[in-house]
Amino acid sequence: MALVACPTASIGTTEHHDAHIGIDAFPELIAENVYYCGFNAESSFGAWSYLITRPDDAGGNVLIDSPRFATQLVKKIDAMGGVKRMFLTHKDDVADHRRFADRYTCERVMHADDGAQRLSIERVIHGGDAVDLDEDLTVIPVPGHTRGHMVLLYKNKFLFTGDHLAWSPNRQTLIAFRSACWYSWTEQIKSMEKLLDYEFEWVLPGHGRIHHESATNMNAQLRECIEWMRGRD
């Protein structure tokens, strides 16, 4: 699975292994109807992408950020119902978004401040207010890492955070990436504070580790993260 997911094909083996074992493992179920796509794209700096599967009458499947447009992955996504909507957290992790949009004629969602118009995005988000895409999906603008960065909240449970927020196994806490803040650390702190108003149990980042806690514990850890960020302002 690591060999297949590697964005630069840098992982090898000393003995022959059947690559289809790794290929067939993706998309990999995380919880409920949320999957990790694998096939990370070098053009997205190896960022993780995710797939939410839903019936068409519930809004259809949602692809969060872009994996490589790999034939094996696309066939699996086809079998899982394709893609109705593609959410792009920010401009760094768009990878093969055009190829997925062409294949599925899906609506792409991105913020204007990250160049959505230049990329001919179908649904452009403006300003800093949260936007409900449907009953279960809420877009929350969180400028900081980039000017137009956004996160996606699904069912008040799963938060897809792009490069905004992740889990650190070394520090055993939620973190932001001070050394990879391309727009404004001060704005990123404010954006993190905004997330205190929302409930979620999962942090699903593009970089860093996935984390699962109760909503109460997640809120407490988010507060600790904010205090840590303030100390590095």
Q: Tokens in use for 110?
A: 């991105």
SS in 3 state form for 107-126?
Answer: EEEEEHHHCCCCCCCCEEEC
**Residue range 205-211: average pLDDT?**
95
* CA neighbor of 195 nearest in space, from 153, 135, 134: 153
pLDDT value at residue 63:
98
- Which run of H or of E encompasses 168? strand 166-168
The identity of residue 147, as a single letter, is R
**Residue range 158-177: average pLDDT?**
96
Q: Tokens in use for 155?
A: 């069912």
Q: Bigger pLDDT: 65 or 8? A: 65
Q: pLDDT band for position 188 (50/70/90)?
A: very high
Q: pLDDT band for position 11 (50/70/90)?
A: very low
Reply yes or no on whether the pLDDT at 8 is more than 70.
no
**Residue range 48-69: average pLDDT?**
96
Reply yes or no on whether the pLDDT at 160 is more than 60.
yes
Q: Bigger pLDDT: 46 or 207? A: 207
Reply yes or no on whether the pLDDT at 22 is more than 90.
no
* CA neighbor of 118 nearest in space, from 130, 127, 110, 128: 110
- Please write the tens of the pLDDT for every residue from 101-144: 999 999 999 999 999 999 999 999 999 999 999 999 999 999 99
pTM value is 0.89
Reply yes or no on whether the pLDDT at 9 is more than 50.
no
- Helices in the chain by DSSP H: which ranges? 2-5, 19-23, 71-79, 97-104, 185-194, 215-230
Please state the domain extents for the chain. 2-230
pLDDT value at residue 230:
96
Reply yes or no on whether the pLDDT at 187 is more than 90.
yes
* CA neighbor of 116 nearest in space, from 82, 141, 153, 144: 141
Q: Which fold has domain 2-230?
A: Metallo-beta-lactamase; Chain A (3.60.15)
Reply yes or no on whether the pLDDT at 20 is more than 90.
no
